[in-house]
Structure 1
Amino acid sequence: MSEVKRPPRSEVRERILDAARKTFAADGFAGATIDAIAAAAGFTKGAVYSNFGSKDELFLALLDQQIQRRAELLANVSSAPSADAGTMATAVGDALMQAVRDNLDYHVLFLEYLLRATRDPAVRKKFVDHRRAVLAQARDAVKANWEPSTNLPIESVAQLVVALTNGFAIEEIVAPGSVPAHLIADVLKPLAGNNRDPRRR
C-alpha cells in the first residue's frame, strides 16, 4: 500500500484559514467551534491546534491575511502608470470599494470581533496591535503614491482611508449596493496632490 502524502504545512494552514472564514461567516465567531472548522478543512482538531492555538489566533491570522491581500491590492494598483494623482486616487478608491464588496463576510466577522475586543482587555491588546499594522499599511501606500494637497499629515490621510473603508463596509452590510461605486475615490481625489514619480521609489 502506497503511503498517503501529507500536504505541506503552508497548504494545511491555508485550508484551515479558508474553513475558519467560512465557518465564522456561517456561525459567527462565538458560535463557531474548532471541531466544525477542522471538519470543514478536512483535518483533525489536533491539526488545527498544531497550527493555531485558539479561535482568537485563527481570527488574528485571518486579519493578517486581509492586511496582506490589501497590501498586494494597493501595490498592484500603484504599480500601474498614472498621469496624475487624481487618476491614482480614483484607482485606489475603486479598488478598495470593490474589495469591501468582495469581502463583506470578513467585515461582519470584524465587527463581531471588535465587540469581543472591547470587553476583553487581553484580546483588545492583540487587536489594537493588528489595527496599528493596518494603519501602517495604509500610511505606506499613501506615502508611496501621493503628496496630499491638504495640510493633513500622511498618518491622518491614512486613517481617513481606513475609516472610510470600514464605514462603507457597514453600510454595504446593512444595505448591499447602497454605497456608490466611486464614492471612496470621490472623497480621496480632493486630497491628492502631485503623484510621485515611480522612479524615485
Structure 2
Amino acid sequence: MEAALIEFSKRGYDKASLDEVAAIAGFSKGAIYSNFTNKEGLFLSLMDQQIRERIEAVRAVCENLVPMEQGPDAAGVVGRQIVSALAADEAFQLLFLEYVAHAARTSEVHQELSDRRRDVRILIADAALAVLGSEHKLWERTTPAVFTIAILALSNGLGIERVATPDDIPEDMLAKLIGLMIQ
C-alpha cells in the first residue's frame, strides 16, 4: 500500500501506473493483480486504508480528550485537540479530492464514502459534546452535528487552500478558527 500511496500521490489517479506501483514495491505486476482486480480496486483499497487510519486516529484522540477548562485559551486548547485528530498531509488531501470526485461518479463508491463520512462526523460530534459539555453556550447557537460539518468543511477547505498556497495558510489556522467558533 505504501507503493500505491507514493505512486497515486505523485501522479494522481488517472496517470498512476500499476507497473510503477509494482516497481516501487519490488513486486511483479502480477503480484498486484493477484491482490487487486484493477487500478480502481487498488486505489479504493488505499483510500479505505487511509480513511480507516484517520477514523482510528480520531477515535484515539476522542478517548483522550480533556474536558474544556476555564481560561483565556480554553477554546484554543479544544481546537488543537480536535485538529490533532483531523491532521492530513498534502498527499492525502490530493488523494481525498480525487476519491471524492471518483465517488461522485460511481454509486457504489459513493455509498462507501457516505458511510465513512458519517462515522467520522459522529465521532467528532460526540467528542465536541464530551469536551465542551452539554451546557456550553455553543449549543444555544447550533448542534454538535452542524458544528462537526463546519469543522470538516473548514478542514477540507483549508487543506485545499494549503495545497494551492501553502505559505498563506498557517498550520494553526484551523485550530484558531475552531477556537473562535466555540468562544
TM-score, structure 2 length as denominator? 0.76
* Counterparts in 2 of 1:158 and 1:94: CA distance versus 1, 3 Å: closer
SS at match of 1:177: helix
Are residues 1:153 and 2:143 paired? yes
Map of 1:12 onto structure 2: none
The alpha-carbon distance between structure 1 residues 116 and 80, as it changes in their structure 2 partners (threshold 3 A), is closer
Distance, in Å, in 2 between the alignment partners of 1:142 and 1:59 is: 32
Identify the residue that residue 18 of structure 1 maps to in structure 2: 2
> 1:129 & 1:80 partners in 2: Cα distance?
24
- Following TM superposition, by how much is the alpha carbon of 1:104 offset from its aligned partner in structure 2, in angstroms? 0.4
Residues 1:95 and 2:84 are matched in the alignment: yes
Structure 1 residue 125, shift from structure 2 partner: 2.9
Map 1:123-142 onto structure 2 (within 5 A). 123-142=109-128
What is the distance in 2 between the residues matched to 1:78 and 1:184? 21
Q: Distance in 2 between matches of 1:124 and 1:21?
A: 21
Q: How does 1:60-99 map to 2 (within 5 A)?
A: 60-74=44-58, 75-76=60-61, 79=64, 84=69, 85-95=74-84, 99=87
Matched, 1:184 2:177: no
Q: After TM superposition, give the deviation of residue 54 of structure 1 in Å.
A: 3.5
State whether residues 117 and 123 of structure 1, in contact with CA within 8 Å, keep that contact through their aligned partners in structure 2.
yes
Compared CA separation, residues 26 and 78, structure 1 to 2 (3 A): same
**Deviation for aligned residue 1:113:** 2.7
**1:120-156 deviations in whole A, cap 9, x for unaligned?**
3343333333333332333343244333532322111
Q: Is 1:19–1:41's contact at 8 Å kept on the other side of the alignment?
A: yes
Distance (whole Å) between structure 2 residues aligned to residue 34 and residue 125 of structure 1? 26
Gaps (5+ residues) in structure 1?
1-16, 194-201
Instruction: Verify: 1:104 aligned to 2:90, yes or no.
Output: yes
Q: Are the equivalent residues in 2 in contact too, given 1:149–1:190 (CA < 8 A)?
A: no
- 8 Å CA contact retained: 1:67, 1:134: no
Secondary structure of 2:170 counterpart: coil
Q: Deviations over 1:55-77 (max 9, x none)?
A: 33333333333334334544347
1:75-121 deviation digits (Å, cap 9, x = unpaired): 34762656625254232255367x23xx1011112222322222333
Percent identical among aligned pairs is 32
RMSD: 2.9
Residue 166 of structure 2 aligns to a residue whose secondary structure is: coil
Amino acid corresponding to residue 104 of structure 1 in structure 2 = E
Task: Provide the C-alpha distance between the structure 1 equivalents of 2:119 and 2:41, rounded to a whole number of angstroms.
Answer: 16
SS at match of 2:137: coil
